Chains A and B, each alone.
Chain A
Amino acid sequence: GAVVSQHPSRVICKSGTSVKIECRSLDFQATTMFWYRQFPKKSLMLMATSNEGSKATYEQGVEKDKFLINHASLTLSTLTVTSAHPEDSSFYICSAGTSGADTQYFGPGTRLTVL
């Protein structure tokens, strides 16, 4: 099946620093990638949808200047949390799909802790 990886799996950073999370589709070309945020014992909240080569579409209430998304190739999307604060601590999950595909394949997630 389709494999999506995320790196790093876990990161701890100081308040005010920026953190970059990578999402890669390993065995297929992903025209669309999605970034989600999940709080403990909660559902997934879609943050943004990114199509290769174009600007990401952010969901209402998500600050695009704080959560920078780049989808420069068909196998890589990055999420950069800028000037991170403790309230940004969360589990960030990406998913990837191909154009017109039925399904999205999810990465294993990245646990971000901001001290």
Chain B
Amino acid sequence: GEDVEQSLFLSVREGDSSVINCTYTDSSSTYLYWYKQEPGAGLQLLTYIFSNMDMKQDQRLTVLLNKKDKHLSLRIADTQTGDSAIYFCAERNNQGGKLIFGQGTELSVKP
């Protein structure tokens, strides 16, 4: 079945880079997403990548996709305290466009 796995916690110092990793099992996924959730709020779409791409960069965010290993990562350059949040990766199911979410990685940025 479909499964998306993430590590639960990551702690970095302000100004450092953060790398959040995600693995998935559905090789037919067409899109993979990164969402950010702040406490008590909904999900904010950060970026997404089509499955035939290896990399996508958008300002401080870089997404790397290794389709062979079914591994997705999100790199945040020059991490700020405002980046502290839970980050979810998700894959898009071909059946009806459902999103399958990972457990979320709680990023803590220390000054």
Point out residues on A near B: beta carbons under 8 Å. Answer: 4, 6, 32, 34, 41-44, 46, 49, 57, 93, 95, 97, 101-109, 111
Contacts and interface: CB of A to CB of B under 8 A. Distances in A.
26 contacts: A4-B42, A6-B42, A32-B96, A34-B99, A42-B104, A43-B101, A43-B103, A43-B104, A44-B88, A44-B101, A46-B98, A49-B97, A93-B42, A93-B43, A95-B43, A95-B99, A102-B48, A102-B50, A103-B31, A103-B33, A104-B45, A106-B35, A106-B44, A106-B45, A109-B40, A109-B42
Which 7 residue pairs spanning A and B have beta carbons closest together? A106-B43, A108-B42, A106-B42, A109-B42, A43-B101, A43-B103, A44-B101
Contacts of B104: 41-43
Contacts of A102: 31, 48, 50
Contacts of A93: 42-43
A32 B97 contact: yes
Contacts, number: 52
The size bracket of the interface on B is 20 to 34
B88 A57 contact: no
Nearest to B103: A43
A104 B44 CA distance: 10
Nearest to B4: A43
